[in-house]
Amino acid sequence: MPSRVKILLIYTGGTIGMKKDFETGALKAFNFSKLLQKIPELKQLDCEIETISFENPIDSSNMNPEKWAEIATIIEDNYSVFDGFVVLHGSDTMSYSASALSFMLENLSKPVIFTGSQLPIGDLRTDAKENLITAIQIASLQDNGQALIKEVCLYFEYKLYRGNRTTKINAEDFNAFISPNYSTLIESGVHLKCFPELFLPKTSLEGLKVQKLLNNHVVILKMYPGISSTVLEAILDIPKLEGLVLETYGSGNAPTEDWFLTALKKAISTGLHIVNVTQCSGGSVSMGQYETSSALKEIGVISGKDITTEAAITKLMYLLEQNIESSDFKTIFETSLRGEMI
Ligand code: ASP
């Protein structure tokens, strides 16, 4: 008899495992063992599930690169024993974490599925059970003894997305995420409808490589009409700054005023990497399409193409830790590493 698929459930915190504080009425993370008691249905799944929890589960607003390293370490330490990993995580920063982990875990040949919920698991109308149960089922999918999914994904409200393509767009609806520039990998209805042509193929024969250190000398600046040179200079003057994600308008457009372009040009010449991403939720940066982006291209701004801000900032953190020659950085950033951009 073939052995059952083994799934490791990693609990980091989030609404899924929260309950109301008696005194304040605010939602707080609580002990994971109690969470499992709330879902006896898990026993019916045709896989073996083991669990591991952050010592102190967090609201994902407290997520940071050290905690990403903790998730990566748990996966690395258990990689040979388990067939798939499900990470329970607050939805607020889930897209950042899924993006970060997609870069930190190179040559994945097993699924890492992030999920969570908008309502606590103990709530009568909770969305947690469906999200958790289907995420585990998807992490268990095998094809000829091999995992079907070999990448970091996010499962929420009947849809499996590539994690680094997602963004949280709704604080109210169960349908809280979108993947604006990449189609859904699996849809959950009466059946699981898979679109394998969209899955990330394993391209290297090498084993899992984990990068735990990220460089957080980075910042995100969202453009808005009326931005002043004082604001821009203050950002560019941040000590030790190495990377800037510039959220521009439309297809990558920004002011053509001298003070703006001169400041960016000077920053680039002193080694700052500036990535142009669009603040539109869908579509791509295309520098040179309008006059308002031609100068950005000329001064060496990196094109984020159709990347999300979440993936752009975490990709910067990941690449800046790699001693890449300054002259190669732009080309490497503009290359898709984990299916995060076209
Ligand atoms: N504030 C919560 C968190 O991100 C929201 C959620 O879990 O959905 O941890």
Which pLDDT value is given to residue 328?
A: 98
pLDDT score recorded for residue 19: 81
Cα of 203 vs centre of ligand 1, distance in Å, is 34
What is the C-alpha to C-alpha distance for residues 70 and 231, in angstroms, rounded to an integer?
Answer: 35
Segment 167-223, tens digit of pLDDT: 999 999 999 999 999 999 999 999 999 999 999 998 788 999 999 999 999 999 999
Instruction: Tell me whether residue 166 is one of the annotated catalytic residues.
Output: no
53 lines ligand 1 (CB under 6 A): no
Top mutation candidate among 60, 64, 155 for ligand 1, by most atoms within 8 Å of CB: 60
* Cα–Cα distance list, 195 to 81, 135, 200 (Å): 27, 16, 11
CA–centroid distance, 41 to ligand 1, in Å, is: 23
- For ligand 1, say whether the CB of 126 is within 6 Å of any of its atoms: no
Does residue 3 register a pLDDT over 90?
no
If one compares 334 and 21, the residue with the highest pLDDT of the two is 334
Q: Rounded distance, CA 338 to CA 72, Å? A: 16
Q: What six digits make up the tokens of 253?
A: 């457009």
Tally of CA atoms within 13 A in the half-sphere of 246 that contains its CB: 29
Catalytic residue among 12, 15, 93, 248: 15
- The CATH code of the domain at 6-210 is 3.40.50.1170
Q: Domain 218-333 falls in which CATH fold?
A: Rossmann fold (3.40.50)
CB 316 within 8 A of CB 330: no
The pLDDT tens digits of the residues spanning 35-85 come to 667 788 888 899 999 999 999 999 999 999 999 999 999 999 999 999 999
- Domain positions in the chain are 6-210, 218-333
Calculate how far, in angstroms, residue 23's C-alpha sits from the geometric centre of ligand 1. Answer: 20
246-255 pLDDT, tens per residue? 999 999 999 9
Q: Is 92 in the pocket of ligand 1 (CB under 6 A)?
A: yes
Residue 28 Cα, ligand 1 centroid: separation in angstroms?
10
- Report which of residues 120 and 97 the model is more confident about: 97
pLDDT confidence of 25, banded at 50, 70, 90? Answer: confident
pLDDT in tens, 158-173: 999 999 999 999 999 9
CA distances (Å), origin 273, targets 20, 265, 306: 43, 11, 18
Nearest to 308 by CA among 329, 289, 336: 336
Q: Is the CB of 118 under 6 A from ligand 1?
A: yes
At residue 122 the predicted structure's pLDDT band, cuts being 50, 70 and 90, is confident
Tokens 């899992």 belong to which residue? 208
pLDDT one-digit tens code per residue, 223-271? 999 999 999 999 999 999 999 999 999 999 999 999 999 999 999 999 9
Answer yes or no: are the C-beta atoms of 214 and 319 closer than 8 Å: no
For residue 276, is pLDDT > 90?
A: yes
The overall pTM is greater than 0.85 = yes
